[in-house]
Amino acid sequence: MKNILVTGGAGYIGSHTLIELVKAGFNPVVYDNLSNSSVIAIDRVENIVNQKIDFIKGDVLDKDLLKQTFKTHNFFAVIHFAGLKAVGESVKEPLKYYQNNVAGTLNLLEVMSEFGVQNLVFSSSATVYGSPKSLPIFEHFPRSCTNPYGQSKLMVEYILEDLCKSKAFNAISLRYFNPIGAYQTGTIGEDPKDIPNNLMPYISQVAVGKLQKLSVFGDDYDTIDGTGVRDYIHIIDLAKGHLKALEYLVKGDKDNHIIGFEPINLGTGSGTSVLQLVNAFEKATGQNVPYVIVSRRAGDIASCYASCDKAKSLLNWQAQFDITRACLDTWRWQKNNPMGYQS
């Protein structure tokens, strides 16, 4: 059984990925400082998979603990979710983001090097494409970012590219589009600490009565109904994408093939507007989601959706779940856990 270090494994995407890893016979070891998550998520994953999950409370900035962790486990690969992700906060506190996301990754890469671990799956983001020149977005499109969060992801991609040029190293950079939804048990899901920045958790918190109404950021974009269009991908599909990436690394290892730096989009390939998502949520759940149109949010683009051709051809992966299913799963999680993991 292959040991996989999962940094940030207690978080939203990490916790769902743990389930797929265990189901496929990998042994995930979670390393998380719980700065944006709860250990309850790990307990709930243990209940779902009916198995204990190795958990180390640690920071990727703590190189000694990282070394200790590598010394006591023989890792085949690392899935590196650990990072801060709030765009607005990153504008106010850029150093915190560069320190955590860039310096943290450098630490990890140095320790991986020291222990001869050469397989990485990195959590990148569609944000690295900035304002795309056309749609859908392909992996070869130019990259640019306008905020420190996005820059931190882009910087790590540059570091990984250089590293892969310098020696035998495999880095699959998964560029996520907009993850939504929750596991079907309704026991794990997205649990923002403050008022949500992202659309889906905002919608579900309005539906559960925690927030009064949704502010729709602009209805004058050049889109189907004037509101922003995004590529919403179910979290279980996203989690399965990580498994496929790992399997690709395992195959590369068997064939003695160096993969190098490989950026891959994980999305559905189609776009949904803000109002379409609100309507889909209301229809799927029977809940009312009051909203008001307000001005555009600074830094937002009109539309963004992925080409998923590369994920299909290289990883044999494509999204299975639709928006209705994602709305139902989000709602099950939200209504069962109105205060998130503290409920």
Task: Please give the Cα distance from 210 to 284 (Å, whole number).
Answer: 19
Question: Which residue spans within 95-193 are E strands per DSSP?
Answer: 119-125, 170-176, 178-180
Among 2, 4, 5, 12, binds ligand NAD (CB under 6 A): 12
Cβ at position 257, least distance to ligand NAD in Å = 27
Cβ at position 339, least distance to ligand NAD in Å = 16
149 is a catalytic site residue: yes
Encoded amino acid at 126, one letter: A
Residues of span 160-199 touching ligand NAD by CB under 6 A: 176, 178-179
C-beta of residue 125 within 8 angstroms of C-beta of residue 230: no
Task: Specify the residue, 11 or 148, whose C-beta has the smaller distance to ligand NAD.
Answer: 11
- Show the tokens assigned to 160: 């990984």
Task: Specify the residue, 23 or 297, whose C-beta has the smaller distance to ligand WQD.
Answer: 297
Q: Which stretch binds ligand NAD (CB under 6 A): 75-83, 250-258, 283-291, 315-323?
A: 75-83
Q: Is 61 in the site for ligand NAD (CB under 6 A)?
A: yes
Residue 130 binding: pick among ligand WQD, ligand NAD, none (C-beta 5-8 Å cut-off by kind): none
Residue nearest to ligand NAD (CB): 11
Among 2, 18, 28, 33, binds ligand NAD (CB under 6 A): 33
Residue nearest to ligand WQD (CB): 228
C-beta of residue 263 within 8 angstroms of C-beta of residue 156: no
Helices within the chain (DSSP H only): 12-23, 39-49, 63-72, 87-92, 94-97, 104-114, 148-166, 199-207, 235-254, 274-285, 309-315, 323-336
Task: Specify the residue, 127 or 337, whose C-beta has the smaller distance to ligand WQD.
Answer: 127
What are residue 28's DSSP bridge partners?
A: 4
Q: Is 159 in the site for ligand NAD (CB under 6 A)?
A: no
What are residue 303's DSSP bridge partners?
A: 229
Q: Is 150 in the site for ligand NAD (CB under 6 A)?
A: no
Task: Specify the residue, 146 or 253, whose C-beta has the smaller distance to ligand NAD.
Answer: 146
Q: Which of 12, 129, 149, 221 is catalytic?
A: 149
CA distances from 32 to 90, 187, 289 (A): 20, 20, 34
Q: HSE, CB side, 13 Å, CA atoms: give it for residue 6.
A: 30
**Any residues with CB less than 8 A from the CB of 166 and at least 6 apart, and which?**
none
Cβ at position 47, least distance to ligand NAD in Å = 18
C-beta of residue 188 within 8 angstroms of C-beta of residue 333: yes
- Show the tokens assigned to 302: 């009109």
Binding site for ligand WQD (CB under 6 A): 85, 87, 125, 127, 178, 197-199, 202, 214-217, 228, 230, 274, 297, 300
Rounded to 10 deg, the angle between the 235-254 and 12-23 helix axes is 50
Whole-number CA gyration radius for the chain: 19
Task: Specify the residue, 112 or 254, whose C-beta has the smaller distance to ligand NAD.
Answer: 112
**Any residues with CB less than 8 A from the CB of 108 and at least 6 apart, and which?**
7, 60, 66, 78, 80
Q: Is 231 in the site for ligand NAD (CB under 6 A)?
A: no
Residue 10 binding: pick among ligand NAD, ligand WQD, none (C-beta 5-8 Å cut-off by kind): ligand NAD
C-beta of residue 238 within 8 angstroms of C-beta of residue 315: no
What are residue 79's DSSP bridge partners?
A: 6, 121
- Show the tokens assigned to 40: 């309850």
Task: Specify the residue, 230 or 332, whose C-beta has the smaller distance to ligand NAD.
Answer: 230
Q: Which stretch binds ligand NAD (CB under 6 A): 12-20, 222-230, 273-281, 312-320?
A: 12-20
User: Where along the sequence are the contacts to ligand NAD (CB under 6 A)?
Assistant: 7-8, 10-14, 32-37, 59-61, 81-85, 100, 104, 123, 125, 176, 178-179
Catalytic residues: 149
